[in-house]
Amino acid sequence: MALLLVLACLPQAALAQSGAYASFEDGNRLFRDDLYWAALLRYRQAAEEGMDTPLLHFNTGVAHYKAQQHIRARESLLRAAESPDLRVLAHYNLGLNAWAIGNQEEAVDWFRRARNQQDNDTIRDYANVALARLQTEQREADPIVEIREKRREADKPAANFEIRARVGAGSDDNIFRAPSRPYIDFTDPALPLVTPEVYSGTFVPFNFRAKYKVNSLKWENFFGGYRLSGRIYDGDLENNADEYHHELRFGSEFDRRENGRRSRVYSAFAIAQNDEQYIDPDTGNPRTVNGEEITDRMDYIRYGPQLTTVQAFGNLSFALRLKGELWDYEDTELVPEYDHEYFLLGGNVQYKFTPGTLLRFTVEKSSRRYSSRPSFDLDGNQLVTNPELRYDYLEYGLLARQRLTDDLWFGFGFELMDRQDRYLGYNDFTRNAYMFEFHWSPGRRFDLEIETAYRDYDYPNAFAFHEPLAGPKTLETLDAEIRGTWRISRHFRLIAEVDFRETASTDTRIEYDRTRYSLSLVWEL
């Protein structure tokens, strides 16, 4: 429902207190920027400076409503309703205010007063719509009606099919993530100087998603979903960078929203397959051990259950996330396999201070437990006699978002991760991450999104190249993505993306710069 705010010029007689009028105008400006608490301070200052007009009371009441101070909103709107010029608007907004706190009887009374007046046709239409919606809510709250609706939903064969396909063309200036400069290979006793070859080329990104919901009830449905994504490069050597990812999942979704509360439960079992070649980034050729290729080392299948639940009460919400997976990598006889178990338990608390301002705090604890990969000792040696590798992670996150207008918002985030190597602590690290996000929709058809993240890793024990002679290991990464979306029609979108990544490390093997450009067409049903 629309909430009406009157921003009108005061008669000249009311401008005797110029300071009060300036404070009033500042309040109106802050309100238009969705800064309701700041607007209330200016309105109060205007009152203290001598302004006492129905218009000030009206705007103060609306600002209190937006700030969810409904008792004060009612008081101010009642004072504004004493003015014949603002009575109709005040009655309508008093109805909205009563509706917001669940007092439907009072809301009906105010809406009827707004409907029965003859001065403002627009408000009369708004009031009629509000009364109709209130009646609908009352019907849904009726136990008999609710039983009938449940039976009707249970009897009907519900089904829903969703599909999304994306294909495009792109350019990659560092296909194999080759190091950005020559380096001495400390893993080779001869200490050779390696000069990486940087290959650039074009690729075709693709993505396909399909989801089918069955036995859909009013709040719950069961679903099956499939996802395929990947990139195909042009060229015989460049094809070594091709990658594919498939995922199939089955589960159920429960999502109920009523009277400012939300309860959501998502549970699923997922199985995924990843295909990519294990290549040497220095040359783009498949990796070899003793003259034999181990190209398939990075191929894997993962599977396991996952559960997410969200409970929201007005501006406050809580979320819990559980996941357990088995990762089965391709068998390799020459080198240790990456097979492992993955467990995750996490949650977050989110609060919306205003309709345009939120703060979210996240905590996650996870573990990766390898079954065939030995741990590293403090000298950087991965001996087969060492115990199996296990990493435990603890991560904290803080995210703040601010909406400036309906079309513009931005956010800042910080994450702190601590990883423990459960053997001797060789691969322990702490990671600080700083993130920024920006979203702008200058029109109904266009969206612009910017995301950046800087991550700094601190390794207290690890060595570059796992070799003490190479010195301590360091790692920094910088990621940036710019995405523009143009809605061609209801089912088609055009997406242009720029993806940049830079890494810096004393382990030069993992140091590289990479920029990718792509233009894709998306079809959705």
Q: Which of 427, 378, 392, 435 is nearest to 410 (CA)?
A: 435
Q: Mention the CATH class of domain 12-143.
A: mainly alpha
Q: Mention the CATH class of domain 159-524.
A: mainly beta
* First-last CA distance in the chain: 29
What is the spatial distance between Cα 500 and Cα 307, in angstroms, rounded to a whole number? 33
pLDDT score for 16: 45
Instruction: Look up residue 243 and give its two tokens.
Output: 């990658």
Q: CATH 1.25.40.10: which residues of the chain?
A: 12-143
What is the spatial distance between Cα 345 and Cα 362, in angstroms, rounded to a whole number? 11
What is the spatial distance between Cα 303 and Cα 327, in angstroms, rounded to a whole number? 7
pLDDT score for 139: 52
Q: CATH 2.40.160: which residues of the chain?
A: 159-524
What is the spatial distance between Cα 322 and Cα 283, in angstroms, rounded to a whole number? 40
Q: Is 427 helix (H, G, I), strand (E, B) or coil?
A: coil
Write phi, then psi, for 462 (nearest 5 degrees).
-75, 155
Check: CB of residue 388 under 8 Å from CB of residue 335. no
Opening angle at CA 164, ends 302 and 399, nearest 5: 70
DSSP state of 108: H
pLDDT score for 137: 64
DSSP state of 337: -
What is the spatial distance between Cα 2 and Cα 8, in angstroms, rounded to a whole number? 18
Opening angle at CA 416, ends 411 and 420, nearest 5: 155
Give one DSSP letter per residue of 487-511, joined into a string: E-SSSEEEEEEEEEEEEEESSGGG-
Strands of 156-234 (E only): list them: 159-172, 183-184, 193-194, 201-214, 220-233
| Residue-by-residue pLDDT tens, the chain, 525 positions | 555 554 444 444 444 446 788 888 888 888 888 888 888 888 998 888 888 888 999 999 999 988 888 888 999 999 998 888 888 888 999 988 988 888 888 888 898 888 888 778 888 888 888 888 877 665 544 454 445 545 545 544 446 888 999 999 999 999 999 998 999 999 888 999 999 999 999 999 999 999 998 876 777 889 999 999 999 999 999 999 999 999 999 999 988 877 668 899 999 999 999 999 999 999 999 998 888 888 999 999 999 999 999 999 888 999 999 999 999 999 887 888 999 999 999 999 999 888 789 999 999 999 999 999 999 999 999 998 999 999 999 999 999 999 888 789 999 999 999 999 999 999 999 999 999 999 998 877 899 999 999 999 999 999 999 999 999 999 999 999 999 999 998 889 999 999 999 999 999 999 999 999 999 999 998
Instruction: Look up residue 22 and give its two tokens.
Output: 């300036």
Q: Position 499: which residue type?
A: D
pLDDT score for 121: 80
Check: CB of residue 114 under 8 Å from CB of residue 88. yes
CA distances from 173 to 167, 303, 511 (A): 20, 34, 15
CA 81 to chain centre: 43
Query: How many CB atoms are closer than 10 A to CB 200?
Result: 12
pLDDT score for 242: 95
